[in-house]
C-alpha cells in the first residue's frame, strides 16, 4: 500500500513529464495541445495538494482546478483563481471538436507563450505549497 507521500510523488512526477510535453508541443507549433498539457500539469499538482490536505489518497475524478483546490486550506488570490478558470477552458475546449475551431483561432504563439509563462508561475507556487 502506498503512503500519502508516495501518492503525492506520483502526481508530481506525472506533472514533470507533462511539463516537458508542454514545451515539446509548443516548439512543434502545436499551441492548443501545449495548453491542454499545461492544464494537465496544473491539474496533477492540484491533485497532489488535494492529497496532502485530505485524509484520502485518491483525489476526486475531476479536471476542475478550482474545485480541487477548494477542498484544501490554500487560499487563492482572485488573479490565481481567474487563471485557473482560464486553464480549465483548455481542458474542455482542447477535447471536444465543437470547441476546437473556436479556440484554435486564438491560440497563437504569443498567446500560448503567455499562458505557458503564467502556468509556470502557478506550477512553482503549487510545488512550494507541497513543501
Q: Write the DSSP string, 25-42.
A: HHHTT-HHHHHHHHHHHH
pLDDT beneath 70: ranges in the chain: 92-100
* pLDDT at res. 126: 97
The whole-number pLDDT of residue 90 equals 86
Residue written as cell 481567474?
82
Closest CA to 65 of 76, 54, 56: 76
**pLDDT of 104:** 79
Q: What is the dihedral sign for C-alpha 51, 127, 125, 115?
A: negative
User: CA dist 55 to 3, 45, 52, 91, Å?
Assistant: 11, 17, 8, 27
Q: All 3 cell numbers of residue 63?
A: 479536471
Cα of 7 vs its chain's centroid, Å: 17
Domain housing 82: 4-129
Task: Give ∠ CA 39-24-81 in degrees, rounded to 5.
Answer: 20
Q: What is the CATH number of the domain that holds 112?
A: 1.20.120.330
What pLDDT score was predicted for residue 1? 87
Q: What is the pLDDT of residue 94?
A: 52
Q: What pLDDT, on the 0 to 100 scale, is given for residue 93?
A: 55
What pLDDT does 43 receive? 98
Q: How many domains does the chain have?
A: 1
Whole-model pTM: value is 0.93
Amino acid at each position: 500500500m502506498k503512503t500519502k507521500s508516495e501518492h503525492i510523488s506520483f502526481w508530481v512526477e506525472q506533472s514533470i513529464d507533462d511539463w516537458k510535453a508542454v514545451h515539446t508541443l509548443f516548439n512543434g507549433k502545436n499551441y492548443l495541445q501545449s495548453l491542454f498539457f499545461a492544464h494537465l500539469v496544473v491539474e496533477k499538482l492540484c491533485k497532489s495538494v488535494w492529497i496532502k490536505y485530505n485524509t484520502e489518497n485518491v483525489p476526486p475524478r475531476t479536471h476542475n482546478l478550482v474545485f480541487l483546490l477548494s477542498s484544501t486550506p490554500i487560499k487563492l488570490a482572485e488573479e490565481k483563481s481567474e487563471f485557473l478558470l482560464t486553464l480549465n477552458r483548455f481542458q474542455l475546449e482542447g477535447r471536444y471538436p465543437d470547441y476546437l475551431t473556436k479556440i484554435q483561432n486564438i491560440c497563437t504563439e504569443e498567446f500560448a507563450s503567455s499562458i505557458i509563462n503564467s502556468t509556470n508561475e502557478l506550477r512553482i507556487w503549487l510545488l512550494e505549497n507541497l513543501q
